[in-house]
């Protein structure tokens, strides 16, 4: 009987010590970061897909369908701010629509890295702040006019 009581007491002490040790270890700052460093919270925002007509030689050649996401700094939800999604959609449409290098008779790969960096820079410039950290491409496709269902 005394042996069972001692085993039960030992299990309780080990459990309490392990719980205390786990909580203490979790509250310690990680060794990889310095105490004065501020880590910024980021969030991904999905943007509505856009469809851009491609006009070449006075004729409609097809449409570019693109879908983007934004990597933004998480800010105060109650603070009145400009809508970065609207600016991104506008800048993406303008860049794709006015790009004369896109020749869909002789298709080549589009430099998506340059496109997204340009969109990010222009949106941040128009908004007057660097809220957008990166523009991500979810979908980018060209559909010929002949391939569209009538």
pLDDT band at 112 (very low <50, low <70, confident <90, very high): confident
What's residue 50's pLDDT?
92
The answer for residues whose C-beta is within 8 angstroms of residue 121's C-beta and 6 or more apart is none
pLDDT at 120 over 80: yes
22 lies in some domain: no
| pTM of the shown model | 0.65
Between 90 and 76, the more confident residue is 90
User: Looking at the domain assignment, is residue 3 inside a domain?
Assistant: no
Closest by alpha carbon to 88, among 53, 119, 46, 48? 119
Task: Answer with the residue of higher pLDDT: 109 or 134.
Answer: 134
pLDDT at 67 (0 to 100)? 92
Asked if residue 63 belongs to a domain, the reply is yes
CATH of the domain at 102: 3.30.479
Q: Give the least confident one: 26-35, 42-51, 73-82, 133-142.
A: 73-82
- Looking from the CA of 74 toward its CB, the CA atoms found within 13 Å total 6
Q: Which one has a higher pLDDT value, 63 or 74?
A: 63
Number of domains the chain contains = 1
**Residues of the chain with pLDDT > 90: what percent?**
18
Task: Answer yes or no: is 19 within a domain.
Answer: no
> In which domain, by residue range, is 140 found?
42-147
Query: Measured between alpha carbons, how far is 59 from 48 in angstroms, rounded to an integer?
Result: 27
Q: Is pLDDT of 75 > 70?
A: no
Euclidean distance between CA atoms 98 and 102, whole angstroms = 9
Q: Is residue 18 part of a domain?
A: no
> Is residue 65 in some structural domain?
yes
115 in a structural domain? yes
Condensed to tens digits (0 to 9), the pLDDT of residues 19-48 reads 988 888 888 876 655 544 556 788 888 889
Q: For 83-102, how does the pLDDT look when each residue is reduced to its tens digit (9 = 90+)?
A: 788 888 999 898 888 877 76
- Ramachandran quadrant class, 13 (left: phi over 0; alpha: psi -120 to 50; beta: rest): alpha
- Give me the pLDDT at residue 32, please: 58
């Amino acid at each position: 009987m005394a042996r069972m009581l001692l085993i039960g007491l030992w299990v309780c002490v080990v459990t309490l010590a392990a719980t205390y040790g786990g909580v203490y270890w979790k509250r310690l700052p990680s060794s990889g970061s310095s105490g004065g460093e501020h880590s910024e919270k980021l969030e991904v925002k999905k943007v509505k897909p856009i469809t851009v007509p491609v006009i070449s030689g006075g004729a409609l050649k097809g449409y570019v369908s693109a879908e983007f996401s934004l990597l933004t700094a998480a800010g105060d939800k109650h603070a009145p701010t400009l809508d970065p999604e609207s600016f991104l959609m506008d800048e993406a449409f303008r860049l794709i629509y006015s790009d004369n290098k896109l020749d869909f008779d002789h298709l080549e790969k589009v430099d998506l890295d340059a496109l997204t960096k340009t969109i990010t820079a222009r949106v941040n410039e128009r908004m007057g702040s660097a809220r957008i950290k990166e523009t991500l491409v979810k979908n980018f496709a060209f559909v010929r006019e002949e391939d569209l269902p009538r």
